[in-house]
Amino acid sequence: MQASDETLAFLRDVRVFEAFSDPDLTALTDRLRERDLRRHQILFREGDRGDEMFIVRRGTILISKAVTGKVEQVLVRVEPFDFFGEMSLFDGSPRSATAQAETDVELLVLGRDSLQAMTETAPRAAAAFFYAMVQVFMERLRRSTQQVAEATRWGLEATGLDVEAR
Amino acid sequence: MQRPTPAKFELLVRRDDEEGFELRQVASVTGYLSSRPRRIEPDAYEISELRSRVAIAPGFILKNKTTDRFLLLSEPERFLWDQMDGATSLQEIATAYVLKYGEFDFEIIPSLLRKLQRAQLLTFEPRSRLRAVLARNRGRAVVKAIELVLTGLERIRISTHNVQGFFQALYRFGGFLLFTPIAAIACAVLAVAGAAAALVLFRDVHDMLEGFGGHALRGVLMVKLLFFVSVALHQFVHGLACIHYRRRVREFGFTFLHGFVPTFYIDVTDIFMASRRARVVTAVTGALVHLALGAVAFIVAAQAPTGSFTQAFAAASGIIQWQALVVALYPFCFIEMDGYHILVDVLGVPTLKHDAIGYAKSLLTGAGRIIGEGREEPLWIAYVVLSTISVAAFIAFNAWIIFSATH
């Protein structure tokens, strides 16, 4: 992908690339691919194989996990400057949730090969990337914990269970 | 301390086209209203009336025989306790409460639930009795297969909550005409003409239904299809009536009732906030769709050549439409259709069927279970006797039609 000023300016505001120097960012941009999704198009499904992460440039992506039948729980909405799909990028495991475009979407795609190349050619940038990634993981872990608590609260409220009195 | 807002899930419900979906916010309160509290088994508790010379309203003592815990219930709480049979949702229980007492106390149900839970007098039963029986016999392959099919069918539910605008537009662009005196007169004229045509046709039911000869399958499918469409129209008219009285239509959809009865449904529960007249009109007008369609069918049959497929199809449709009218409006048939809801609304006895069947069972088994005393008992007996006779008559009438047509 050609490193346009617009793309570089966009990437500077993406959290995991914030600490990148301009040459590193330019080199990274060359390794990114663009991908467009039309509204409601499914990018990947839970269980699919994958080795790429995606950065949302425009639009909104819904990340959902199957609950029962045709019903899925919406885990998160990924908006511009945020990213998703990084779990499969690192461990190559099947996708843990489904990603689908809520609106028309423009994505930037970072594949495992590109990450590998970046690690070898720009170790400083790679270190900054991994450090930012760990911070994001911790935030997401906190959010998951909060979601578990919310799910428990939902269950208690839905059943009217009076736990305090037991 | 500020109370937290109810917890919510955002759910994505896929459509059949795979990529299409609908997003729904499901608040915990929705789950709460759909839950079906169930009192513990009858032999695990005792209830007795607490008579007092001072208090005007009676009180009741409820005892959990296992834990030896006692609860004091007021008369409204006793009423709510009787509704908690595992089949009735909290929303239905609240509706029954409003119909009985004419007002709603927003705290009474949650506080009673808390008391009952503490005394371990309550369980929650999310499934139907049929599903409970199937679950108990899951070891058998046939039962397991039935369960799987029912589960699959129950998941088929096509519905939308954004129907208010649609029904308002439908009402504006002609639906309002159904609620004018002219429409009532037209309906009455149609009914008389249809009845006259039916009388002429029924002089020789055998010749009339002979038109199905050689096309029985096509005939049955077409009659069923027309009936299916009429059920949707029935629901549409309920919705229009709801709009007529300036209330909200909350949902319209298609599902498999109990997992095997395909049906359309509409949520017009908002009509409970309107007058009794509005409730009655909403209930009756939906059923009148069958009256009108049945009358038209009989008139068409009377005009069609004797023994033709058209005559047989129209006559069979007319019979089914008018039977649907009777089933919908006649309250004494053990089915809680429109007529039943009108009856309990007028009588102010929202649990008539439940109580009547319970009373009849206690008489038949000799358990001597006295649910109440005084003037309610004749009402329960009348309901059970009339319903039994009516169901028997309905079956006999259909048997007679089949017999007449085949001999």
Amino acid symbol at B16:
D
| Main-chain phi, psi angles of B98, to 5 degrees | -65, -40
Taking the model in full, what pTM does it have?
A: 0.51
Q: Is B259 left (phi over 0), alpha (psi -120 to 50) or beta?
A: left
Q: Do B120 and B143 fall into the same domain?
A: no
Q: Do B266 and B304 fall into the same domain?
A: yes
Q: Do B195 and B344 fall into the same domain?
A: yes
Kind and range of the H or E run holding B290: helix B276-303
Q: Do B232 and B210 fall into the same domain?
A: yes
Is B8 near chain A, with CB under 8 Å?
Answer: yes
Q: For residues B141-180, b (16+ Cβ closer than 10 Å) or e, as one string?
A: eeeeebbeebeebbeeeebeeebbeebbebbeeebeebbe
Q: Which residues of chain A have pLDDT under 70?
A: 1-3, 161-166
Q: What pLDDT score was predicted for residue B373?
A: 52
Q: Give the residue from B297, B300, B279 showing the smallest Cα distance to B343.
A: B279
B241 found inside a domain: yes
B28 found inside a domain: no
Tell me which residue range forms the domain holding B198.
Answer: 157-406
Q: Which residues of chain B have pLDDT under 50?
A: 1, 126, 371-372
Query: At CA A46, angle to CA A40 and CA A48, rounded to 5?
Result: 100
Report the share of chain A in percent with pLDDT over 70: 94
Q: Give the residue from B110, B92, B95 showing the smallest Cα distance to B34.
A: B92
Q: Which of B156, B175, B202 is the last residue of a domain?
A: B156
Q: Do B184 and B75 fall into the same domain?
A: no
Q: Which of A74, A155, A165 sits opposite B23 (nearest CB)?
A: A74
What is the distance in angstroms between the Cα of B164 and the nearest Cα belonging to chain A? 24
Q: Do B79 and B199 fall into the same domain?
A: no
Q: Give the residue from A50, A18, A47, A20 showing the smallest Cα distance to A35.
A: A50
Q: Which of B137, B156, B175 is the last residue of a domain?
A: B156
CA dihedral (B182, B183, B186, B191) in degrees, to 10, reads -140
Q: Do B139 and B174 fall into the same domain?
A: no
Q: In the CATH scheme, what is the code of domain A5-158?
A: 2.60.120.10
Which residues of A are less than 8 Å from B256 in CB distance?
none
What is the distance in angstroms between the Cα of A91 and the nearest Cα belonging to chain B? 27
What is the distance in angstroms between the Cα of B209 and the nearest Cα belonging to chain A? 44
B177 found inside a domain: yes
CB contact under 8 A, A160 and B155: no
Q: Do B338 and B266 fall into the same domain?
A: yes
Closest residue in B to A75 (Cα–Cα): B10
- Provide the domain count of chain B: 3
Which residues of B are less than 8 Å from A153 in CB distance?
4, 7, 28
When scoring B9, B118, B150 by the number of chain A Cβ atoms within 10 A, the one with the most, hence best to mutate, is: B9
CA distance linking residue B322 with residue B381, whole number of Å: 28
**Hey, what are B105's tokens?**
């106390």
CB contact under 8 A, A160 and B7: no
**What is the value of ipTM here, to two decimals?**
0.81
Is B157 near chain A, with CB under 8 Å?
Answer: no
Q: Do B57 and B194 fall into the same domain?
A: no
Q: What pLDDT score was predicted for residue A79?
A: 94
Q: What pLDDT score was predicted for residue A165?
A: 54
CA distance linking residue B291 with residue B183, whole number of Å: 13
Which residues of A are less than 8 Å from B23 in CB distance?
74
Q: Do B175 and B149 fall into the same domain?
A: no
Q: Which of B15, B19, B113 sits opposite A42 (nearest CB)?
A: B19
Q: What is the pLDDT of residues A27-75, one digit of tens each?
A: 989 889 999 999 999 999 999 998 999 999 999 999 999 887 788 989 9
From chain A residues 31-70, the ones with a CB under 8 A of any chain B CB are 40-42, 62, 64, 67-70
CB contact under 8 A, B14 and A70: yes
Q: Are B336 and B345 in contact (CB under 8 A)?
A: no
Q: Are B318 and B209 in contact (CB under 8 A)?
A: no
Q: Which of B32, B35, B118 sits opposite A162 (nearest CB)?
A: B118
Q: Do B211 and B330 fall into the same domain?
A: yes
What is the distance in angstroms between the Cα of B48 and the nearest Cα belonging to chain A? 26
Q: Are B179 and B171 in contact (CB under 8 A)?
A: no
CB contact under 8 A, A161 and B18: no
Amino acid symbol at A56:
V
Q: Which of A40, A153, A160 sits opposite B21 (nearest CB)?
A: A40
CB contact under 8 A, A158 and B32: yes
Q: Which of A42, A154, A166 sits opposite B9 (nearest CB)?
A: A154
**Hey, what are B379's tokens?**
């009402």
Q: Are B138 and B148 in contact (CB under 8 A)?
A: no
Q: Which of B86, B107, B126 is the last residue of a domain?
A: B126
- Domain borders along chain A are 5-158
Q: Which of B12, B18, B124 sits opposite A159 (nearest CB)?
A: B124
From chain B residues 28-57, the ones with a CB under 8 A of any chain A CB are 28-32, 35
Distant-in-sequence, close-in-space partners of B259: CB < 8 Å, separation ≥ 6: B130, B131, B149, B150, B151, B153, B154
B396 found inside a domain: yes
CA distance linking residue B201 with residue B405, whole number of Å: 13
Q: Do B148 and B165 fall into the same domain?
A: no
When scoring A39, A40, A159 by the number of chain B Cβ atoms within 10 A, the one with the most, hence best to mutate, is: A159
From chain B residues 96-125, the ones with a CB under 8 A of any chain A CB are 110, 113-114, 117-118, 124
When scoring B5, B12, B14, B123 by the number of chain A Cβ atoms within 10 A, the one with the most, hence best to mutate, is: B12
